[in-house]
Amino acid sequence: MNPERARLLRDLERGRTRPPAISPQLGTKKQREIRFCKLKHWQVPEAFALLKSLPRLEVAPGSQPNGLVVSYELADYSLEALETLLTERGFHLENTLYCKLVRALVYFSEETQRRNLRQPERLIKQSHEVYLQAWEHHPHGDHDDTPLELREYK
């Protein structure tokens, strides 16, 4: 039994399901966990109220007592923007090495996805035709410029 399977069995036994801290999420609907400093436990309910007041943002208690799970559309919010808002309002986020690494990876992936969504779609058919025309004009294959009457056939 691997550790991930053991955690899943433990959570099922306790009657709760816990999504992995960082899991692949296809599409633009994101669900992330924001963790706060464990020493300042008073800030979780205040942050819950603040985030709940934002439009098109779903907030739920996290898997840890010092965490909140937020669900949002990538066009509306990003984890970086939400955490920046919280820190500007005086909230203290968890600063363990693990959280910093996960945070950096999520920031990068969301920013890349948002940048890709802003790019216009390429018209695949037209670009394919360009390559076909270039291929037709390019000498290739078994092309031989020697006239038929000068070729020796045995």
The CATH number of residue 30's host domain is 3.30.70.100
Structural domain that includes position 36: 22-118
60 closest CA partner among 105, 3, 18:
18
Residue 17 main-chain phi, psi, to 5 deg: -115, 135
CA distances, 2 to each of 5, 6, 14 (Å): 5, 6, 19
30 versus 138: which is more confidently predicted?
30
The answer to whether position 124 is within a domain reads no
Q: Which token pair is 133? A: 């025309």
As for how many domains the chain has, the answer is 1
Helix, strand, or coil (residue 53) = coil
The answer to whether position 57 is within a domain reads yes
- Separation of CA 20 from chain center: 14
Question: Could you read off the pLDDT of 50-101 as tens digits, one per residue?
Answer: 999 999 999 999 888 899 999 999 999 999 999 999 999 999 999 999 999 9
pLDDT band of residue 1 (cuts 50, 70, 90) is confident
The answer to whether position 109 is within a domain reads yes
